[in-house]
Structure 1
Amino acid sequence: MRSQERHRDVAAYALGVLDEAESFRFEDHLMECPRCSAHVTEFGPVTRQLMLYRTATPRAVHPMAAPGPRLLDRLLGEVAARTRARRRRSLYAVAAAVVLAVAGPAIALTAERGSDPLRVEATDERSGVWAQVTAVAEPWGSEVSLEVKDAAGPRVCRLVAVGHDGSEETITTWTASSRDARPTSTEGGAALHPDEIARYEVRTTTGERLVTIPVQ
């Protein structure tokens, strides 16, 4: 496969439509191509939305079914409702900040314990990899941010959410640079809600587990 063709396979890899052999070759390419690695991360939101569509759509519905005439109105109404909800949350946050400033440290401590987002971290003594996961509950699942330090690259890695029921979802994929101890940041999402996730795992694409981050 020529280099230019590998670049064109970014979307197919991110959407999971390459076969096993093609995925293996593309992952070798990712280790040497920061541009493609960045593009794979950028496809995360698209992949997440397609996954949610697949989960929410009954099998009896044909994938190429045409939308009904009122679908656009419903979608616009939902976007407007979410916008109003975000504004209300912002107002509540401002009000809470005022209360905390007046009430003092005791109330501040209580609010911190019960607030979102959920943040967990861990370091693996064997691999030396440190990772911190921040998860925010959303109506569709979890919005997840990751910071990871891995100085043993180059290698392609992924963050996996493991549910209490044993189910797994790949949240995001990135390339760890060679001998670079600076933290790498990336974002993704899962259909699982934060309280449905038992732990997060950073793995290589070959299946090696680099660090496990349990959810308390």
Structure 2
Amino acid sequence: MRSQERHRDVAAYALGVLDEADAFRFEDHLMECPRCAAHVTEFGPITRQLMLYRRSTPQFVSPLAKPGPRMLDRLLSEVGARHRSGRRRFLCAVAATVAFAVAGPGIVVVAGGGDKAARRIEATDARSGVWAQVTAADETAGAQVELKVKDGAGPRTCLLVIVGHDGTEETVTTWSVPRHDARELIMNGASSYHPDQIARYEVRTMDGEHLVTLNSG
């Protein structure tokens, strides 16, 4: 698979329409391409909405049908525009916030402009030593999520996974940990879950190793 074709396959991989062999090759590429890892993360809200639509709608299309390249390119373009717009709104909200502590250690509610409030949670895993802090701001379409993490056990590729109260999961953001560098990393992402629909956040490695859990309460 040529380099440009691997980049173009990000939408097909995120939507789960690659065959097993191509998906395996794309995962190898994903480990070395931060740009594609970021695009896969941005498709999270769309893939979850498609999953919910599929569960509630009779299937009139053959399960073997696959979206064409024009549809995949259009989806990728729309996701990028949504992510840029959402990130600007989130940064403006954070700039205007005032924090006050509630509900015990490790959990903070951050009061912002208007009626919106962001919920902040932090935790350190005793086994892995990884510290993480998540701030989730409620938005019309779900939540804007900021992650701060300190992990000195790199190099490795990690991801932040949201687990809903209904047991479903969504990947919010993906990043690469530098070699033996425990400095704080900051990532932003968008989720189709609202904060009150989230049971917990999990930081995992790309190969499934659990690093730290942040319970939403």
Alignment TM class, shorter chain as reference? 0.5 to 0.7
Choose from 36, 41, 45 the match for 2:38. 41
Q: How does 1:194-213 map to 2 (within 5 A)?
A: 194-213=195-214
Output the CA distance in 2 between the equivalents of 1:15 and 1:177: 29
Corresponding position of 1:166: 167
Query: Does the CA-based 8 Å contact 1:27-1:156 persist in structure 2?
Result: no
Q: What secondary structure sits across from 1:182 in the alignment?
A: coil
Q: When the two structures are superposed, what TM-score results if normalisation uses the length of structure 1?
A: 0.64
Query: Does the CA-based 8 Å contact 1:131-1:211 persist in structure 2?
Result: yes
Query: Does the CA-based 8 Å contact 2:110-2:120 persist in structure 1?
Result: no
Task: Point out the structure with the larger helix share.
Answer: 1
Query: Does the CA-based 8 Å contact 2:44-2:172 persist in structure 1?
Result: no
Q: Percent of aligned positions with the same letter in both sequences?
A: 53
The answer to which of 161-170 and 129-138 deviates more is 161-170
Query: Does the CA-based 8 Å contact 2:44-2:191 persist in structure 1?
Result: no
CA offsets per residue over residues 163-193 of structure 1, 9 Å max, x none?
2232222222222222222222222222221
Query: Does the CA-based 8 Å contact 1:14-1:40 persist in structure 2?
Result: no
When the two chains are superposed, the root-mean-square deviation of aligned CA atoms in Å is: 3.6
- Structure 2 vs 1, CA of residues 201 and 113 (structure 1 numbering), >3 Å: closer, same or farther? closer
Q: CA deviation at 1:206?
A: 2.1
Q: Which amino acid aligns with 2:160?
A: L
Corresponding position of 2:119: 118
Q: What secondary structure sits across from 2:196 in the alignment?
A: helix
Q: How does 1:47-66 map to 2 (within 5 A)?
A: 47-49=44-46, 51-52=48-49, 55=52, 59-60=57-58
Q: Which runs of 5+ in 1 are unaligned?
A: 65-85, 101-107
Output the CA distance in 1 between the equivalents of 2:3 and 2:138: 40
Q: CA deviation at 1:2?
A: 5.3
Output the CA distance in 1 between the equivalents of 2:138 and 2:162: 14
Corresponding position of 1:127: 128
Output the CA distance in 1 between the equivalents of 2:168 and 2:137: 19
CA offsets per residue over residues 33-58 of structure 1, 9 Å max, x none?
3xx21332145444424543553586
Q: CA deviation at 1:21?
A: 4.4
Q: What secondary structure sits across from 1:153 in the alignment?
A: coil
Q: Which runs of 5+ in 2 are unaligned?
A: 62-66, 68-88, 103-107, 112-116
Q: CA deviation at 1:132?
A: 1.2
Q: Which amino acid aligns with 1:38?
A: R
Query: Does the CA-based 8 Å contact 2:149-2:185 persist in structure 1?
Result: yes
Output the CA distance in 2 between the equivalents of 1:139 and 1:175: 30
Q: CA deviation at 1:60?
A: 4.6
Q: When the two structures are superposed, what TM-score results if normalisation uses the length of structure 2?
A: 0.63
Output the CA distance in 2 between the equivalents of 1:55 and 1:38: 27
Matched residue count: 176
